[in-house]
């Protein structure tokens, strides 16, 4: 399990905008852990979900992708939360054309990929809300897209819906080499999380890790090192 500290900064893009902060360092630690565990894998697709809304999965997705891109890996962040997308807001990007347009054959892959202000990081927004995303995903409409992205990028980071709410996240897990489940300190309901965990294990999902989000640095055993991160 990896730990992400509470965000008390004035931005959600903490890795890009506050690289010397303790919270940015926690994302670098997460990145290093993933690198060690996936070193043997050729194509690296990381899917990030949670058991319920507001656990911080999109915040984790953005900053993990930024951290991976910061060390030179060509990375793409895909907003696959087609119900309540937020990544375009965090990145200050337009959402009028994105993944949903591709899914209903109204846009090509090239149409929906956009560069960001963060070096080595591209982005696919969710696009306008569509009525039947789960059914489209189940039909395999994203197979070609994911396979194409694997040929273009070192890492694909997918932000998807909470796994305890709708089926989208489960359907997307077939593409992932690693699934990260975000839980939030003093927020995630234990019964909901336990039920999701039980379902994953029942379906023989073994490629997932837990991200413990929003831990106060002052309550952490690493609190004495916070000034070191800022100074250096």
SS3 sequence of the chain: CEEEECCCCCCCCHHHHCCCCHHHHHHHHHHHHHHHHHCCCCCEEEEEEECCCCCCHHHHHHHHHHHHHHCCCCEEEEEECCCCCCHHHHCCCCCCCCHHHHHCCCCCHHHHCEECCCCCEEEECCCCCCCCHHHHHHCCCCHHHHHHHHHHCCEEEEEECCCCCCCHHHHHHHHCCEEEEEEECCCCCHHHHHHHHHHHHHCCCCCEEEEEEEECHHHCCCHHHHHHHHHC
Cα 180 vs. chain centroid, distance in angstroms? 8
Q: What are the CA-CA distances from residue 3 to residues 56, 80, 116 (Å)?
A: 12, 24, 26
- The pLDDT assigned to 225 comes to 45
How big is the chain, counted in residues?
232
Identify the CATH number of the domain in which residue 148 sits.
3.40.50.300
* Domain hosting residue 115, numbered range: 2-231
Q: Give the closest residue to 194 by CA, choosing from 210, 178, 206, 216.
A: 210
Given a contact cutoff of 8 angstroms between Cβ atoms, the answer to whether 156 and 69 are in contact is no
In this predicted model, what pLDDT tens digit does every residue of 105-138 receive, in sequence order?
999 999 999 999 999 999 999 999 999 999 999 9
In this predicted model, what pLDDT tens digit does every residue of 146-170 receive, in sequence order?
999 999 999 999 999 998 778 898 8
Distance in angstroms between the alpha carbons of the first and the last residue of the chain: 26
Total domains in the chain come to 1
Given a contact cutoff of 8 angstroms between Cβ atoms, the answer to whether 49 and 61 are in contact is no
**Residue 119 CB coordination number (10 Å):** 12
Per-residue pLDDT of the chain (232 residues; tens, 9 = 90+): 899 999 999 899 999 999 999 999 999 999 999 988 776 566 699 999 999 999 999 999 999 999 999 999 999 999 999 999 999 999 999 999 999 999 999 999 999 999 999 999 999 999 999 999 999 999 999 999 999 999 999 999 999 999 877 889 889 999 999 999 999 999 999 999 998 888 888 777 878 899 999 998 765 554 544 444 444 4
């Amino acid at each position: 399990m990896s730990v992400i500290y509470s965000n008390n900064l004035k931005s959600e893009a903490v890795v890009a905008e506050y690289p010397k902060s303790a919270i940015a360092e926690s994302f670098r630690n997460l990145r290093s852990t993933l690198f060690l565990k996936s070193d043997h894998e050729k194509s690296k697709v990381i899917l990030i979900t949670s058991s319920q809304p507001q656990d911080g999965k999109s915040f984790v997705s953005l900053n993990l992708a930024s951290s991976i891109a910061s060390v030179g890996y060509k990375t793409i962040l895909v907003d696959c939360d087609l119900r309540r997308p937020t990544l375009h807001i965090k990145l200050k990007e337009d959402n009028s054309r994105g993944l949903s347009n591709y899914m209903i054959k109204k846009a090509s892959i090239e149409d929906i990929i956009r560069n960001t202000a963060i070096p080595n990081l591209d982005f696919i927004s969710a696009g306008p809300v569509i009525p039947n995303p789960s059914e489209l995903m189940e039909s395999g409409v994203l197979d070609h897209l994911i396979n194409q992205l694997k040929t273009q990028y070192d890492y694909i980071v997918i932000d998807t819906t909470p796994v305890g709410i709708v089926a989208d996240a489960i359907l997307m897990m077939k593409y992932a080499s690693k699934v990260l489940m975000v839980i939030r300190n003093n927020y995630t309901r234990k019964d909901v999380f336990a039920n999701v965990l039980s379902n994953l294990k029942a379906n023989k999902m073994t490629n997932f890790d837990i991200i413990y989000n929003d831990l106060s640095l002052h309550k952490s055993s690493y609190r004495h090192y916070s000034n070191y991160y800022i100074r250096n």
